[in-house]
């Protein structure tokens, strides 16, 4: 390890306190010990619960009734976990077996709602962390949606359309009996875009003999909403604008680091360009590009075709455009060089734990003072601590990327009313929702004595609505 990184590591370890700056309540310590013992080999789930439990110390001190009603213990236990075999046949006629999941985490404030992820890394622990985060995120949106997450260890990369279709049909052949417009409404996530939602919806409709709003992210001809594809990326940028607004600043002229090159990243870049910011990076699981001149609308159109139609690798961007640096992933590195470039804003939009303590320190050194998370839990607990200690504008995923599920909620409303709103109408509603999430986070952080701490704000504001609903509904 280089000397610079050793120093950074020492800095990361030296910093006291995390989100609350105080010592942990014995209650939270005991709870974490129990979570780890009861859910072994699920590090991402432990991480998500720990971050939230630390914020909630502030609430539990003031509201002991939540402790006696065991609200936190109940919230971290899924209402239902479904795990099932997904058999399918590839183009060579070989039988293939994958594992399917749906974690129905909490339905106290509405039907279960949350995406499906198809990626080889998918396992029970990752989906439980995502479902847990989803409960609080959905509560923040102000819409009546419970939380869930699902998916499979199936890898759509390199598969033909026919293979993806047969897999999706087999997956839905089990899932259809557990979901419905008033029960559980899945959507997309990593590896699940418009194509996959189409195949899943087709099979649901065939099995149930009904046309219902049972999935969101649908095509416009068959019940989809305008702006749903754009919503998560646009929402993350709206959230960043709100954070910058508290300092009297805008995104105009700001250099921005964006990771990933999928749905969230593409529309983050689109909105950044519209607001006259300068996005300079994109990545995929094999490497990243750095385009010092800035990614323009024309270059973004190339990325959209590359990723959504040709399903190619981001390296091709550097082959196509002059002056672009491509850096392949080096698994030996303990940091990601994408986060070392000079910028003012960062939008991690690929996957969980893509910013560790070193990366967070690199971002600060490179001049970044606003981070809006498009991805779910892209920052490790060490990284979060670095951001909070530095007092930068740090918008955690459950607040900053809530625009996607919020617009899914708007799709559900349009389906129920059997009408379609215009692009402007949906975008305005999305914008208003992101403003209200930002306001709720900020006001809640103030109210609990940690001004500017969006982590505490999001965790507590999301928790209170679910917790009070659970108190009202008795021991279920
Ligand atoms: P996509 O599948 O469209 O894109 C994912 C991108 O991240 C791809 O560039 C992919 O590269 C990269 N990626 C995925 N896994 C890894 C990995 N293990 N290591 C490095 N890179 C990786 O997904 P989305 O854009 O929809 O989702 C991105 C993030 O945003 C996820 O965290 C998701 O949970 C979150 N999110 C998405 C929402 C949505 O509406 N879609 C809503 C809220 C949050 P490659 O192609 O090489 O795999």
Measured CA to CA, the distance from residue 283 to residue 296 in angstroms comes to 16
In total, how many domains does the chain have? 3
> Per-residue pLDDT tens for 304-349?
999 999 999 999 999 999 999 999 999 999 999 999 999 999 999 9
Q: Is 452 among the domain residues?
A: no
Give yes or no: residues 241 and 383 share one domain: yes
The DSSP line for 52-92 is HHHHHHHHHHH-HHHHHTTHHHHHTS-SEEEEEEEEEE-TT
Give yes or no: residues 110 and 252 share one domain: no
Give yes or no: residues 40 and 141 share one domain: no
SS3 192: strand
CA angle 243, 345, 320 (to 5 degrees): 140
Closest residue CA from atom 17 of ligand 1: 285
Structure tokens at 317: 């961007």
Measured CA to CA, the distance from residue 352 to residue 461 in angstroms comes to 22
**Whole-number pLDDT of residue 11:** 42
> Per-residue pLDDT tens for 80-94?
999 999 999 999 999
Give yes or no: residues 50 and 119 share one domain: no
Domain harbouring 384, CATH code: 3.40.50.720
Give yes or no: residues 198 and 169 share one domain: yes
Measured CA to CA, the distance from residue 367 to residue 347 in angstroms comes to 14
Q: Is 89 among the domain residues?
A: yes
Structure tokens at 113: 């709602």
- Do residues 168 and 86 lie in contact, with contact meaning Cβ atoms separated by under 8 Å? no
Confidence (pTM): 0.94
The per-residue pLDDT of the chain, averaged, comes to 95
- Do residues 460 and 448 lie in contact, with contact meaning Cβ atoms separated by under 8 Å? yes
| 159 CA to centre of ligand 1 in angstroms | 18
Residue pointed to by tokens 């625009």:
403
SS3 6: helix
Q: How confident is the model at residue 24 (pLDDT cuts 50, 70, 90)?
A: low
Q: How far is CA 280 from CA 175, 316, 363, in A?
A: 40, 16, 14
Q: Is 3 among the domain residues?
A: no
Q: Is 186 in the pocket of ligand 1 (CB under 6 A)?
A: no
Q: What percent of the chain has pLDDT over 90?
A: 93
- Going by C-alpha positions, the residue among 368, 374, 348, 349 that lies closest to residue 236 is 374
Q: Is 217 in the pocket of ligand 1 (CB under 6 A)?
A: no
Closest residue CA from atom 19 of ligand 1: 285
> Per-residue pLDDT tens for 271-317?
999 999 999 999 999 999 999 999 999 999 999 999 999 999 999 99
Number of Cβ within 10 Å of residue 250's Cβ equals: 14
Domain harbouring 102, CATH code: 3.40.50.10860
Structure tokens at 336: 């990601």
Give yes or no: residues 151 and 170 share one domain: yes
Q: Is 432 among the domain residues?
A: no
| 262 CA to centre of ligand 1 in angstroms | 6
Structure tokens at 240: 């960043």
Give yes or no: residues 150 and 32 share one domain: no
**Ligand 1 atom nearest to CA at 408:** 40
Q: How confident is the model at residue 61 (pLDDT cuts 50, 70, 90)?
A: confident
Give yes or no: residues 318 and 193 share one domain: no
Q: Which residues on adjacent β-strands are paired with residue 291?
A: 324
**Ligand 1 atom nearest to CA at 402:** 43
Q: Is 447 among the domain residues?
A: no
Q: Which of 12-16, 132-136, 175-179, 243-247 has the lowest mean pLDDT?
A: 12-16
Q: Pick left, alpha or beta for residue 379 (phi over 0 → left; psi -120 to 50 → alpha; otherwise beta).
A: beta
Give yes or no: residues 240 and 362 share one domain: yes
**Average pLDDT rounded to a whole number, residues 53-78:** 94
Closest residue CA from atom 15 of ligand 1: 351
Give yes or no: residues 29 and 178 share one domain: no
Give yes or no: residues 295 and 279 share one domain: yes
Per DSSP bridges, beta strands 370-372 and 393-395 are parallel
**Whole-number pLDDT of residue 4:** 38
- Do residues 440 and 460 lie in contact, with contact meaning Cβ atoms separated by under 8 Å? no
pLDDT of 453 over the 50 cut: yes
Domain end position, chosen among 39, 73, 107: 73
The residues that are catalytic are 149
pLDDT of 242 over the 70 cut: yes
Alpha helix (H) residue ranges in 222-380:
228-245, 263-274, 297-304, 315-320, 357-365
The parent domain of residue 151 ranges over 80-209
Q: How far is CA 418 from CA 46, 348, 415, 421, 426, in A?
A: 41, 36, 5, 10, 15
Ligand 1 pocket test, pick from 264, 372, 379 with the greatest ligand atom count within 8 Å of Cβ, gives: 264
Q: Is 215 among the domain residues?
A: no
**Average pLDDT rounded to a whole number, residues 241-255:** 98
**Whole-number pLDDT of residue 3:** 45
The DSSP line for 124-150 is HHHHHHHHHHHHHHHHHTTS---EEEE
Q: Is 114 in the pocket of ligand 1 (CB under 6 A)?
A: no
Measured CA to CA, the distance from residue 45 to residue 42 in angstroms comes to 5
Residue pointed to by tokens 């607004």:
245
Domain end position, chosen among 400, 429, 450: 400
Q: Is 100 in the pocket of ligand 1 (CB under 6 A)?
A: no
- Going by C-alpha positions, the residue among 262, 249, 306, 299 that lies closest to residue 279 is 299
Domain end position, chosen among 149, 177, 209: 209
Give yes or no: residues 247 and 124 share one domain: no
Q: Is 190 in the pocket of ligand 1 (CB under 6 A)?
A: yes
Q: Is 444 in the pocket of ligand 1 (CB under 6 A)?
A: no
**What single-letter DSSP state applies at residue 215?**
S
**Whole-number pLDDT of residue 20:** 42
Q: Is 9 among the domain residues?
A: no
Q: Is 393 among the domain residues?
A: yes
Measured CA to CA, the distance from residue 57 to residue 461 in angstroms comes to 13
- Do residues 259 and 279 lie in contact, with contact meaning Cβ atoms separated by under 8 Å? no
pLDDT of 13 over the 90 cut: no
């Amino acid at each position: 390890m280089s000397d610079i990184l050793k120093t950074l590591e020492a800095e990361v370890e030296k910093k006291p306190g995390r989100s609350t700056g105080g010592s942990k309540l014995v209650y939270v310590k005991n709870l974490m010990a129990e979570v780890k013992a009861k859910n072994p080999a699920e590090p991402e789930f432990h991480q998500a619960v720990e971050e939230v439990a630390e914020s909630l110390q502030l609430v539990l001190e003031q509201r002991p009734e939540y402790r006696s009603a065991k609200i936190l213990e109940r919230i971290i236990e899924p209402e239902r976990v479904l795990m099932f075999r997904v058999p399918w046949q590839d183009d060579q006629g070989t039988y293939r077996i994958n594992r399917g999941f749906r974690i129905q985490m909490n339905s106290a404030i509405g039907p279960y709602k949350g995406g499906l992820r198809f990626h080889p890394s998918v396992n029970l622990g990752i989906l439980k962390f995502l479902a847990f985060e989803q409960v609080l995120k959905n509560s923040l949106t102000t819409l009546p949606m419970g939380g869930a997450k699902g998916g499979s260890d199936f890898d759509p990369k390199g598969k033909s359309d026919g293979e993806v279709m047969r897999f999706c049909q087999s997956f839905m052949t089990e899932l259809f009996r557990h979901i419905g417009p008033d029960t559980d409404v899945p959507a997309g996530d990593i590896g699940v875009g418009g194509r996959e939602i189409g195949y899943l919806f087709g099979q649901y409709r065939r099995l149930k003999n009904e046309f219902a709003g049972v999935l969101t992210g649908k095509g416009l001809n068959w019940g989809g909403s305008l702006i749903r594809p754009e919503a998560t990326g646009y929402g993350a940028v709206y959230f960043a604008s709100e954070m910058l607004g508290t300092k009297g600043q805008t995104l105009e002229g700001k250099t921005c680091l964006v990771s990933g090159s999928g749905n969230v990243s593409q529309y983050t870049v689109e909105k950044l360009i519209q607001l006259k910011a300068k996005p300079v990076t994109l990545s995929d699981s094999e490497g990243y590009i750095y385009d010092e001149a800035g990614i323009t609308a024309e270059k973004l159109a190339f990325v959209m075709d590359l990723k959504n139609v040709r399903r190619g690798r981001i390296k091709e961007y550097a082959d196509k455009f002059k002056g672009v640096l491509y850096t392949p992933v080096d698994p030996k590195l303990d940091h990601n060089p994408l986060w070392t470039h000079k910028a003012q804003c960062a939008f991690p939009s690929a996957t969980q734990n893509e910013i560790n303590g070193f990366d967070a320190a690199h971002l600060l050194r490179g001049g970044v003072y606003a981070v809006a998370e498009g991805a779910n839990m892209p920052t490790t607990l060490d990284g979060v601590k670095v951001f909070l200690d530095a007092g930068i504008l740090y918008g955690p995923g459950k607040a900053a990327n809530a625009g996607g599920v919020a617009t899914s909620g708007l799709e559900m409303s349009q389906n129920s009313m059997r009408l379609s709103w215009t692009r402007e109408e949906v975008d305005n509603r999305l914008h208003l929702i992101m403003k209200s999430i930002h306001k709720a986070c900020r006001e809640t952080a103030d109210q609990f004595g940690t001004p500017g701490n969006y982590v505490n704000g999001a965790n507590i504001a999301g928790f209170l609505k679910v917790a009070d609903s659970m108190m009202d509904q008795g021991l279920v």
